Every structure is written in C-alpha cells, then in structure tokens.
Amino acid sequence: MVKTRTIFSKPLNRHLRFITIPLIFVVLNLLSYLLNPYSPYYQEYFDRPILEILTDAGLTLLFCVLIFELSVFNSSMLDKVIPWTERPFMRFSIQLLTQIVFVIILMILLYYIGSLVYTYKEKPTFEEELNSLQFVYVCVIMGILISAVTTGNFLLQKWTATMMEATDLKLKTAEFKEIAMQAELQSLKLQLDPHFMFNNFSTLSELISEDQLKAEVFLRNLSRVYRYMIANLKKDIVSLEEELKFVDAYLYLIRIRYGENVIVSVDINNDDDRGIPPITLQLLIENAIKHNAATKSNPLLIEIYNTDSHIVVSNNLQRIKLSIPSARIGLQNIRSRYALLSEDLPFVIENEYSFAVHLPLLPL
C-alpha cells in the first residue's frame, strides 16, 4: 500500500501545482469580491500604488502556495496514520479539522507579515474588520476545497490503479485458464491413442494368423491412419477435407475388420471452410460399432452427412445387450473437446430406430 501511494503522490502533486495554485489564486480573489463587491477595498483597489498592488498579490499568491502544500502534506501524513480504506469517516473528519486549523494558522502568519509590510496609522474601521473576517471565511472554504481536490485526485488515482490491477489479474487469469484448457485438451487427445490402437492391433493379430498378405496391407493402411493422428495431435480443429481423407483411409480398416457387417456411407460437401476436432468421426464410428450388433443379415448402417451448421453421424440401433462397460472415451471425449473450443456443443437425437450425433462445424 505504501509503495502505491509513493508512486502516485509525486507526479500527481507536481502536475497539480501548475494547475491548482493559479486556479486557487483566481478563485480566492473572485470569491472575496463576490462576497462583498461594494467593499472600499475593491473600489479603491487600482487607485493604490502599483508596488502595493503587486505586494498584496504576491502575499496572496504565497498564501495559495502554502495552503496547497499544507493540504498535500496533511493528506500524506494522514495516509500513513489513518488510511481511507480503514476508517473513512474518521479520516474525513480529521482531515477537515486539520485543514481548517492550518488555514487559520496561515491567516495569522499572513496578518503578521502584513503588519510588518504595511504601517497602519489608525485603528481598522468596522468595514475593514468585516472584510478581513470575510476573507478568513473565504480562505477556510478554499482550504476545504483544496483538500477535497487533492484527496479526490488521490482517490481517483487509487481507483485507476485498482482497476488496472483488476484488469491485469483478469488477463493473467485468462492466460492461466487458456494454459489449463490446452493442457486438458492435449490430455483428451492423448486418450485417443490407446483406444484406437487396441481395437486395430487386435484385428491385426487375428489377420496375421489367418492371412498374412491381408495383414500386411492392413498394417500399411493402419500406419497411414496413425501418421495422420500423430500429425494432427497438436491441432485443435482440422478442415473437413483433411478429416474426410482420414476417414477414407480409416474405412479400409473397417472393411477389413468387419466386412459387410458394417456399412458406412459418407455424403459430405468438403468445400465448407469450417472444420471439426481431429479424429472425431473415427471416434463416433468406433462408438457405434462398439455398442451395436453387426451381422451380415443385419448390418450396422452408419451414415455421415452434413447440414448447414453440423456434421451428423447416424446409425441404426441394434443395441448389444451385454455390452462391454464403456471406458468413457468416445462421446464424452468429443463433448469435452468441444467444450474447450466452443460454446456450441454436440447433441444427440435418439429414437427407437436410430442414434444420431450432431457435431457443430467450427471456424478454422
């Protein structure tokens, strides 16, 4: 807290001196005149010798400088003893009282200096005493106004500093959130590897014992598919064209694994300049195969098509009654990845005949 006050006090007061002190001088004389414009002091003001006018103006200017400096000093001392943030009402009362006391002390000093400069031949008249009293009132009011101005500027600077700190904190929070989101997204992507490889290595193991030539072709396509997965691991969104090329290669593996038991049709306009998270379609195909029966007489039909704002992956329902417990990787993984990338989330439309997942198209 002390460091913040030090940062603001010096530049703030230095700039206020060039603006506030001349303004105090003008307002002080203006208020004195408006309070009693018919005073003999003002009626005979310009009839006095020029040296006397300059001396009077110099003393008034000196008073303005002193009252300003005392106001700044008063605020600085009270900041250390009674900060505004702890006891604002007590701080206001004490600052107001001490400011009035400082002004009265300055008036006494000004009167004493004036008595040394000017030689009074006779006792001041009632009119002159009234003018002096009115000037005291004006000076007290000016002292209070100066204290309010300096305090207001100080509080404004504190408020500005607080807002800047809050903004910096929000930016840092957003940065940390972004880092956490990227870490979580990367973790979700890494979950794809074991899920994908386990299913295909099981098929490859069976092919090696049954048909080594077909196993070799399968392995080459598996390598191409896996290279795509590795190449896009760092990407959050891929174009439809890239994803469809991956799906074409992946469907070869599906045909080897399931033959005519699983039929996948793709009808997508890949000229769209939007995209989806990588390997999303592969996960949904795997998800459909995992939870549905697929035989030659009752094949699993999977359709992939696009609407104006979504990619739809739909399949006919042929639920497996004794399904292997889900590892919560498929659909939940996709939802989690979308949640980190967009406010638009996938949704499912299911009835007794079909199960369809709608994937929002995201800007690249």
> pLDDT per residue over 121-161, tens digit each?
556 666 666 666 777 777 777 777 777 776 777 677 778 88
pLDDT at 129: 64
- CA-to-CA distance for 61 and 43, rounded, in angstroms? 21
Q: Are residues 16 and 161 in the same domain?
A: yes
Count the domains in the chain. 2
pLDDT in tens, 283-321: 888 888 888 899 988 999 999 999 889 999 999 998 887
Q: Which amino acid is at 301?
A: L
Q: What residues make up the domain containing 238? A: 202-363
Does the predicted model carry a pTM greater than 0.75?
no
Beta bridge partners of residue 325, listed in sequence order: none
Q: Are residues 88 and 152 in the same domain?
A: yes
Mean residue pLDDT across the chain: 76
The enclosing domain of 250 has a CATH number of 3.30.565.10
Is 196 inside a domain boundary?
A: no
3-state helix, strand, coil in the chain (%, to 5): 70, 10, 20
The DSSP annotation for 65-126 comes to: HHHHHHHHHHHHHHHHHS-TTT-HHHHHHHHHHHHHHHHHHHHHHHHHHHHHHS---SPPPH
Q: Are residues 45 and 75 in the same domain?
A: yes
Choose one of 182, 215, 241: the last residue of a domain.
182
Of the listed ranges 88-97, 167-176, 270-279, the least confidently predicted one is 167-176
Instruction: Using the predicted structure, report yes or no on whether residue 6 has a pLDDT greater than 80.
Output: no
For residue 202, name the pLDDT band (cuts at 50, 70, 90).
confident
pLDDT at 10: 45
Q: Are residues 155 and 67 in the same domain?
A: yes
Choose one of 124, 153, 182: the last residue of a domain.
182
Q: Are residues 154 and 288 in the same domain?
A: no
Is 227 inside a domain boundary?
A: yes
Instruction: Using the predicted structure, report yes or no on whether residue 226 has a pLDDT greater than 80.
Output: no
pLDDT in tens, 85-111: 777 788 878 888 888 888 788 777 777
Is 189 inside a domain boundary?
A: no
Instruction: Using the predicted structure, report yes or no on whether residue 264 has a pLDDT greater than 80.
Output: yes
Is 172 inside a domain boundary?
A: yes
Q: Are residues 154 and 244 in the same domain?
A: no
